[in-house]
Amino acid sequence: MSESLSFASEKSGLPPGSLVHVGEVHSHEHSICVINYNALHIEKRTIKTIEELMPYQNTDTITWVVINGLKDVSIIDAIGKHFNIHALVLEDILNTHQRPKLEEFKDYLYIVMKAVTLDARTYSVHYEQISLLLLPNFVFTFREKPDDLFQPVYDRLNIPTSHVRSFGADYLTYVLIDSIIDEYFTMQDSIDELVEEVEDELLVNPSAQTLATIQKIRRELIFLRRTIAPLRELLKSLHRSSESSLLDDRTRRYFGDVYDHVIRISESVESYRDLIASMLDIYLSSISNKMNETMKVLTVFASIFIPLTFIAGVYGMNFEYMPELKWRWGYPVLWSVFVGVSVFLLAYFKKKKWL
């Protein structure tokens, strides 16, 4: 075990390849789950040490190893020693602030991706880094925390007639990547619903909270775009890779399908950005219209009281020789003038459609 760092900048001064966990520490027990299978049988077990994987290196079965939790650096170090993984790759696995990428080596492929979930209550997108190592007959999956993301993959493995049971480790890698990309579609549906709610609120009763929500969505879309852009390059490289012997030609076709999915998600994110920009314009226009309506009402009332104030000011000067001051009917007549002027102005404003 070792101490974890919160930011990659805290590794400043350490030599390249230093194995230090960088990222959030989740409150769960570390575990190593092994699923060994072929077309005829499947075995699932939990192991304590990487040394227990050695017997699987001499079989013709596919072995999927899921490491839940990255704080125990000794596990990652043991994988590097027993499977000849470069120290820089091990360092990247432990640093959860990586961007999605693909690195090709002679005997293995290293893939970094981000799994996403949207919290509809706080409008926040949560990211989990998932690293994959594809070796001959081995697939390592490194996760920050255990959850049900790969449950559909487990279910498919339990079906003897499924393709994943009869294909190689590269197909299992495709299935894992496809499961991660499917979560982007789930998040896309959630964003659709959220944007519709904000649009309805904009049209009915926009408020400062509406603006805060729009800004929050806008900020999350910026971060999401930074994740999807390199993801496109990653899958494009997998689809067009012709040098690696670890990828079968028929599996490359499947990677092409996932690449198309990412293109769709990327286009959706771009459309959301345009939509959010237009929503900001609508919000500003709506607030401006509300202000104009308020100012119009205040102006109408001010226009009514201006002549009344003028009349009251004239007869409030208290000159001694003002004939109306001694007139018996002066007070009711003045009120009649006040009411008459007000009614006339209201009717005039109504006719001009200012009210």
CA distance 115 to 143: 10
In three-state secondary structure terms, 18 is coil
**pLDDT for 333:** 83
CA distance 25 to 154: 26
In three-state secondary structure terms, 299 is helix
Please report the DSSP string for 10-21 in residue order: GGTTSPTT----
**Is the separation of the CB atoms in 37 and 31 below 8 Å?**
no
- In the numeric block, the tokens 């339990």 are attached to 158
**pLDDT for 299:** 85
In three-state secondary structure terms, 339 is helix
**pLDDT for 1:** 47
**pLDDT for 94:** 92
Other CB atoms within 10 Å distance of the CB of residue 253 = 11
**Residue 277 CA, distance from chain mean position:** 17
CA distance 211 to 201: 10
Q: Which CATH number does the domain 294-351 belong to among 2.40.50.140, 2.60.40.10, 3.40.630.30, 1.20.58.340?
A: 1.20.58.340
Q: For residue 79, give the nearest of 114, 44, 97, 54 by alpha carbon.
A: 54
Identical fold between 8-285 and 294-351: no
Instruction: Give Cα separations from 187 to 115, 118, 170, 193, 262 (angstroms).
Output: 10, 6, 26, 10, 13
Q: Which amino acid is at 279?
A: M
Q: What is the DSSP letter of 124?
A: E
pLDDT tens-digit profile, the chain (355 residues): 456 777 676 676 677 777 888 877 777 778 899 999 998 999 999 999 999 999 998 888 999 999 998 888 899 999 999 999 999 999 999 998 889 999 999 899 999 999 998 887 777 888 899 999 999 999 999 998 888 889 999 999 999 889 899 899 999 999 999 999 999 998 888 888 888 888 888 888 888 888 888 888 888 888 888 889 899 889 888 887 766 788 888 888 888 899 999 999 999 988 988 888 888 888 888 888 788 878 888 888 888 888 888 888 887 777 777 777 777 787 888 888 888 988 888 888 888 777 7
* pTM score, whole prediction: 0.80
**Is the separation of the CB atoms in 131 and 93 below 8 Å?**
yes
Q: What is the DSSP letter of 167?
A: S
Query: Which CATH architecture describes the domain 8-285?
Result: 2-Layer Sandwich (3.30)
- In the numeric block, the tokens 């659709």 are attached to 192
Phi, psi of 84 (to 5 degrees): 55, 55
The kind and range of the H/E element at 316 are none
In three-state secondary structure terms, 84 is coil
Q: Which amino acid is at 200?
A: D
Burial 15-54 (b: 16+ CB within 10 A, else e): eeeebbbbbeeeeeeeebbbbbbeeeebeeeeeeebeebe
**Is the separation of the CB atoms in 149 and 179 below 8 Å?**
yes
Other CB atoms within 10 Å distance of the CB of residue 211 = 17
**Is the separation of the CB atoms in 230 and 100 below 8 Å?**
yes
Q: What are the extents of the domains in the chain?
A: 8-285, 294-351
Q: Which amino acid is at 247?
A: L
